[in-house]
């Protein structure tokens, strides 16, 4: 009797164990299926790699977009460094939609540039993309992030790919906090970054940026492309206009910048994706 009960219990455990195995197998298949469909919207021109960022005490994932004719020529190309790589190229890695940078460039017959996308640090994003610490939101590690680009990432890119290394051929581009830091980079480090794509800049979080501009000589070689929407909050347009007036007072000429206010534009990837092409054309061909 005891032996019969033993085998009955053993049979139940065996069935339960196999059920768990089947469940785990199903989860594994779902995981593999997700992995296989990841990056489904990324262009074939995209390459990804990881690099140590000693200035940030972390590893950074980098996305590289190479021109469609890169392998067919021996030319060197201008480079645009962009923040928030997760949102630039692939809908699968963006939780809010992508910019469609690669799709846009793939449509060009002469897409003469290399795009370097730097993945943001998730919880460290505010820290990395703000040059000054905010009393409530923290941050303020932007110089270390830019030091990573200047001293670690850019040298690696310049060695690995055929790039035009001069500042006039090196742009930096982002939105929101990324717009703020891109603008800051050209003001603070004009010897490295000659041009900035400044979408929906979060000037409000670091008002110290106005003092920096006031105290800094801005060379005639620096150029900026500004864009903001009217539905991005009460401070977006006034702060942008305040900065434009300050730049003009510093002697920045009309041919050094463009500024576009988009009626009804909201603070999202839809706005930035729709106007990436115009900003790209300005950054690459205005220099």
* pLDDT tens-place string over residues 187-244: 999 999 999 999 999 999 999 999 999 999 999 999 999 999 999 999 999 999 999 9
Give residue 40's pLDDT: 54
* Residue 23 confidence (pLDDT) above 70: no
Its domain, for residue 217, covers 43-285
7 and 63 in a common domain: no
Lowest mean pLDDT among 3-17, 85-99, 122-136: 3-17
Looking at the fold, whether 123 and 250 belong to one and the same domain comes out as yes
Q: Give residues with Cβ within 8 angstroms of 251, minimum separation 6.
A: 218
How many domains are there within the chain?
Answer: 2
Token pair for 161: 């790919």
User: Phi/psi of residue 61, each to 5°?
Assistant: -90, 130
Structure confidence at residue 24 as a pLDDT band (50, 70, 90) = very low
> Is the pLDDT confidence value at 274 over 70?
yes
Q: Same structural domain for residues 54 and 174? A: yes
Helix (H) or strand (E) holding 278: helix 269-285
- The CATH number given to whatever domain includes residue 150 is 3.40.50.1820
The pLDDT assigned to 96 comes to 79
Q: Are residues 51 and 32 part of one domain? A: no
- Same structural domain, 192 and 257: yes
Is the Cβ–Cβ distance between 175 and 199 less than 8 Å?
A: yes
Residue with tokens 């000429």: 253
Which residue, 205, 150, 204, is CA-closest to 172? 150
Q: Is 264 left (phi over 0), alpha (psi -120 to 50) or beta?
A: left
**What is the number of other CB atoms lying within 10 angstroms of the CB of residue 26?**
10
Are residues 85 and 227 located together in one domain of the fold?
A: yes
pLDDT, residue 93, reads: 87
**Model confidence band, residue 115 (pLDDT cutoffs 50, 70, 90):** very high
**Residue 9 predicted with pLDDT over 60:** no
On whether both 19 and 63 belong to a single domain, the answer is no
Q: Return the minimum-mean-pLDDT range out of 21-30, 46-55, 269-278.
A: 21-30
Chain position carrying tokens 């790589």: 85
Mark whether 19 and 109 lie in a shared domain.
no
Instruction: Please indicate, yes or no, whether residues 4 and 20 belong to a single structural domain of this protein.
Output: yes
At 52-63, the pLDDT tens digits run 999 999 999 999
Stated pTM of the model: 0.85
More confident residue, 166 or 17: 166
Question: Percent of the chain at pLDDT above 90?
Answer: 77
Q: Are residues 87 and 207 in the same domain?
A: yes
Sheet with 223-231, edge to edge strand ranges? 46-53, 58-65, 114-118, 79-83, 170-175, 195-199, 223-231, 257-266
Same domain, 5 and 103: no
Q: What is the reported pLDDT for 112?
A: 84
Same domain, 14 and 134: no
- Tens digit of pLDDT for each residue in 100-111? 999 999 999 887
Q: Pairing between strand 79-83 and 58-65?
A: unpaired
The average pLDDT across 178-187 equals 98
Distance CA 197, CA 222 (A): 11
Position 157 confidence tier, pLDDT thresholds 50, 70, 90: very high
Largest Cα span, the chain: 99
Q: How confident is the model at residue 43 (pLDDT cuts 50, 70, 90)?
A: confident
Distance separating alpha carbons of residues 190 and 229, to the nearest angstrom = 27
């Amino acid at each position: 009797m005891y032996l019969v009960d033993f085998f009955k219990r053993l049979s139940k455990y065996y069935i339960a164990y196999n059920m768990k195995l089947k469940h785990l197998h199903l989860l594994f298949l779902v995981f593999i299926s997700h992995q296989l469909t990841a990056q489904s919207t990324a262009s074939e021109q995209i390459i990804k790699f990881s690099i140590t960022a000693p200035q940030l005490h972390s590893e950074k994932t980098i996305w590289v977009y190479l021109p469609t004719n890169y392998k067919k020529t021996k030319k060197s190309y201008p480079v645009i460094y962009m923040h928030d790589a997760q949102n630039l190229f692939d809908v699968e890695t963006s939780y809010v939609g992508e910019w469609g940078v690669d799709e846009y460039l793939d449509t060009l017959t002469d897409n003469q540039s290399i795009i370097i996308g730097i993945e943001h640090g998730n919880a460290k994003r505010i820290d990395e993309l703000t040059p000054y610490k905010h009393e409530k939101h923290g941050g303020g590690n932007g110089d270390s992030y830019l030091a990573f680009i200047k001293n670690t990432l850019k040298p690696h890119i310049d060695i690995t790919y055929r790039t035009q290394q001069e500042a006039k051929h090196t742009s930096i581009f982002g939105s929101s906090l990324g717009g703020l830091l891109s603008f800051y980079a050209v003001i603070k480090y004009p010897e490295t970054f000659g041009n900035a794509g400044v979408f929906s800049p979060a000037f409000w979080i670091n008002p110290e940026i106005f003092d920096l501009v006031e105290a800094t000589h801005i060379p005639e070689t620096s150029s900026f492309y500004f864009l903001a929407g009217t539905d991005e909050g009460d401070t977006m347009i006034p702060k942008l206009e305040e900065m434009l007036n300050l730049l003009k007072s510093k002697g920045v000429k009309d041919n050094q910048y463009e500024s576009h206010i988009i009626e009804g534009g909201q603070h999202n990837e839809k706005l930035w994706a729709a106007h990436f092409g115009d900003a790209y054309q300005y950054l690459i061909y205005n220099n």
